[in-house]
Amino acid sequence: MKILPLKQLFILPAILAIISVSACSAELPVIKAQDASAPSIKILVPGNNPRVGLSGDSWCPVLVDVNNFKLVNKPGEPNVTGEGHIHYFLDIDPSVKPGKPSLIDDAIYAESVETIYFWPQVGKGQHTFWAELVNNDHTPLNPPALAKAGTSAGNYWDS
């Protein structure tokens, strides 16, 4: 067994310390969190419930939660960052093309400044609801802020 001279015993810990400091100072990858200040919307009701217990002949509520966005009744007016209204869609995917209004037939689309909308007589069966935050001119936000929920209307014993 070879015994290291005293000078080498002091150098070895210094080298290890330098290596460990170098390793610790290396840049770590940055993971970006979703911007908490960005406008967002979430469908609370029906909220992907398999059945809402509605006959299909009655009104079906869609309740949303909106964050970081001011709901204003100014359709067609100039856009103001951070304000606009909601487009509600029934059984159709909304258009999210930048700069292009997402207006569709009134039977499957509605605009509102309210966080609850009641779809009249949705009919029995599977349904998909969308809610989208849009600018005053009806164009989608950039990036788009939308939410989707699916449910089935009809009595619990219906197929």
Range of the domain at 93: 40-153
At 123, the pLDDT band (50, 70, 90 cuts) reads confident
Give how many domains the chain has, as a whole number. 1
Which comes out higher in pLDDT, residue 150 or 29?
A: 150
* pLDDT band with cut points at 50, 70 and 90 for residue 101: confident
- Condensed to tens digits (0 to 9), the pLDDT of residues 17-65 reads 444 443 333 333 333 445 789 999 999 998 776 555 555 567 889 999 9
80: in domain = yes
CATH code for the domain in which residue 88 is found: 2.60.40.10
Mapping DSSP onto H, E and C, the string for the chain reads: CCCCCHHHHHHHHHHHHHHHHHHHCCCCCCCCCCCCCCCEEEEEECCCCCCCCCCCCCCEEEEEEEECCEECCCCCCCCCCCEEEEEEEECCCCCCCCCCCCCCCCCCEEEECCCEEEECCCCCEEEEEEEEEECCCCCEEEEEEEEEEEEEECCCCCC
This prediction's pTM: 0.72
